[in-house]
Amino acid sequence: MEMGLSLDETKEEFDPENVIKKFEEISRNAGKVQEETLRKILEENASAEYLLNVGLNGRTDEESFKQCVPLITHEVIEPYIQKIMNGDSSPIITGKPIPSFSLSSGTTQGKRKFLPYNDKVFDTTMQMWYTSFAYRNREFPLTNGKALAFVYSSKPFVTEGGLIAGTATTHVFRHPKYKDLTKCIRSQSCSPVEVIFGSDFHQSLYCHLLCGLLHYDQVQIISSSFAHSIVQAFQTFEQVWEDLCSDIRFGILNERVTDPTTRAAMSEILKPNPKLANMIYYKCLGLTNWYGLIPELFPNAKYVLGIMTGAMEPYVKQLRRYAGWLPLVCADYGASEGWIAANVNPRSPPEEATFAVLPNIGYFEFIPLNETRNGGAEPKPIGLAEVKLGEEYEIILTNFAGLYRYRLGDVVKVMGFHNSTPELKFICRQNLMLSINIDKNTESDLQIAVEEASKLLAAEKVELIDFTSHVDLTKEVGHYVIFWELSGEPDENVLKECCNSLDKSFADAGYVSSRKVGSIGPLELRILKKGTFNKVLLHCLSMGTAVNQFKPPRFVSDNNKPILQIVCGNVAKSYFSTAY
């Protein structure tokens, strides 16, 4: 029943059909596989101080586990992690010492978290990649070709105790087996590693675009971790396409790329090619509003791949404009804490994408959402085999890297089952909430409201570039503030209508009744100057966030002062709702 994929095994004989066969098998026995996975996790880590402290005493069954081990958030495990980072190599959270740490993005809460990373996590990454690749390849077969992958590796650093800390993706890129992995899934990056590891994100992005164009007829996939990076890349293309053409025409790299290592690597592949430069130039001139840019530039591309769900959904519209008729394929569901579920229905559009839980990469529990929302007593999670169709849950993770009953903070909905393993839709992050008194609005409520209101922009031929929100409590009566960055300048009356629409779209009973009695003030729509979200991105990068992980914050709290200052300091116009 075990998948037991290891790279060495698969390097020569990686067979997608075999991977599918194995996944079908384990997903048919999801409950049993979970039990077995938990047993292995607890067996391997029986000597860990954390498990001894809670009194597990080597027991490995589900019942004892649930009885002894409490549900935790990151704060509880933090002191243990700190001890390991300081160099204590005794069994603290795992049987074998943790060799490295990954860092969560922290873009939502303004604070990055350190999470244990070991070879087991790399193995699960591999399994996840193979599984979703196998299902994807059945629908969109690839030959050996290239991927234009907008990936940027951030610099890892060494902790006080001499351990490596970096983003989860950086650990993957730096793993000695990474190249074999990309070979197996038939999509070597068009960019040399020097571009991926480049010291400056803007320079790397420019070079990724250039490398893609130089390999234009071999590119079969356009990808990034999050859809945001793909949109950002082609927005940049709109600005720099003439420079890119000129570089290709003369075989000389633009001066904006100053990093000597990157320049040296690029000079190996950049040779004068006026024919290619002309072709790209005239293709670009022929496009209207850049619709279908990706398949025009890369005629053999099969699909665009990246996370397009959850916080990335607002970018799907812009992505569709660039992707034209190419399918958009949603990438898998996981976090720096660990992988969870794979997209095994790659033809589903982003709006309908679901993720099938891999029952052998971790032990998963689910708190019915009505329990957490109602507060009060300790929530009672249920097992993976007990979840119900159509219900929403907060997901709890136990993995091979020392996290036990860890509340990830994500809300998911069970949309169906792949054999007996649940297919989840990502709903939102639990802790993101616009709330003043009895009103409660999540990230997805905000997203729905923004989507509804921004429909009014279509007639003006203006696009919403990005958005965020804030609760303004500076006056006696608090109110919601929504920030929008737009591609153009719509009519004033349209913006007033948008503002009213936003106010009306928050439909939870708490908000509506508070607005009616005036205990929440009129919603305010603030239009930002162009480039404001780029400033937010640059600020986050300067604080150490990796480009690959960046998710624009959808809610800015009073505690996140630097970002609040950026958005509040770049307001061009503001409107108050008259909807109530």
- The residues that touch ligand AMP, with contacts defined as CB under 6 A, are 104-105, 307, 309-310, 332-336, 408, 410, 426, 429, 549
Integer angstrom CA distances of residue 241 from 53, 212, 235, 280 = 59, 12, 10, 9
Runs of H (alpha helix) within 54-159? 62-68, 74-85, 119-139
Q: How far apart are CA 389 and CA 372, in angstroms?
A: 18
Q: How far apart are CA 484 and CA 575, in angstroms?
A: 11
Q: How far apart are CA 13 and CA 5, in angstroms?
A: 11
| Cβ proximity of 48 and 89 under 8 Å | no
The token duo for 134 is 């196998």
Cβ nearer to ligand AMP, comparing 112 with 479: 112
Cβ nearer to ligand AMP, comparing 41 with 312: 312
Cβ within 8 Å of residue 164, ≥6 positions away? 99, 100, 101, 156, 157, 158, 171
Cβ nearer to ligand AMP, comparing 60 with 549: 549
DSSP, res 119:
H
CB of 331 to ligand AMP, least distance (A): 6
φ/ψ of 425, rounded to 5, equals -105, 135
CB of 300 to ligand AMP, least distance (A): 26
Q: How far apart are CA 26 and CA 359, in angstroms?
A: 7
Q: How far apart are CA 120 and CA 100, in angstroms?
A: 12
Cβ within 8 Å of residue 475, ≥6 positions away? 521
Integer angstrom CA distances of residue 298 from 187, 219, 270, 286, 543 = 14, 6, 18, 15, 35
DSSP for 178-209, please give it.
Answer: HHHHHHHTTEEESS-HHHHT-S-HHHHHHHHH
Cβ nearer to ligand AMP, comparing 184 with 340: 340
Cβ nearer to ligand AMP, comparing 50 with 333: 333
Integer angstrom CA distances of residue 403 from 34, 78, 205, 235, 313 = 16, 11, 35, 39, 29
CB of 166 to ligand AMP, least distance (A): 12
Cβ nearer to ligand AMP, comparing 213 with 432: 432
Cβ nearer to ligand AMP, comparing 131 with 577: 131
CB of 547 to ligand AMP, least distance (A): 12
CB of 180 to ligand AMP, least distance (A): 24
Taking CA 110 as the corner, what is the angle to CA 105 and CA 115, rounded to the nearest 5 degrees? 40
Q: How far apart are CA 528 and CA 467, in angstroms?
A: 9
CB of 158 to ligand AMP, least distance (A): 21
Cβ nearer to ligand AMP, comparing 51 with 408: 408
Cβ nearer to ligand AMP, comparing 187 with 549: 549
CB of 328 to ligand AMP, least distance (A): 13
Q: How far apart are CA 130 and CA 332, in angstroms?
A: 11
In 3-state terms the chain splits into helix, strand, coil percentages (rounded to 5) of 45, 20, 35
* Helix (H/G/I), strand (E/B), else coil: 136: helix
CB of 410 to ligand AMP, least distance (A): 5
Taking CA 227 as the corner, what is the angle to CA 223 and CA 232, rounded to the nearest 5 degrees? 95
CB of 115 to ligand AMP, least distance (A): 8
Cβ nearer to ligand AMP, comparing 247 with 313: 313
The Cβ of residue 243 has, within 10 Å, a number of other Cβ atoms equal to 16
Cβ nearer to ligand AMP, comparing 407 with 526: 407
Cβ within 8 Å of residue 418, ≥6 positions away? 27, 344, 356
CB of 545 to ligand AMP, least distance (A): 9
CB of 414 to ligand AMP, least distance (A): 15
Cβ nearer to ligand AMP, comparing 541 with 571: 541
DSSP, res 61:
S
| Cβ proximity of 169 and 178 under 8 Å | no
CB of 258 to ligand AMP, least distance (A): 29
CB of 341 to ligand AMP, least distance (A): 8
Cβ nearer to ligand AMP, comparing 322 with 426: 426
Runs of H (alpha helix) within 141-273? 168-174, 178-184, 193-196, 201-214, 227-250, 260-269
Cβ nearer to ligand AMP, comparing 428 with 527: 428
- Which residue has the closest beta carbon to ligand AMP? 310
- Residue keyed to tokens 């003030």: 521
CB of 409 to ligand AMP, least distance (A): 7
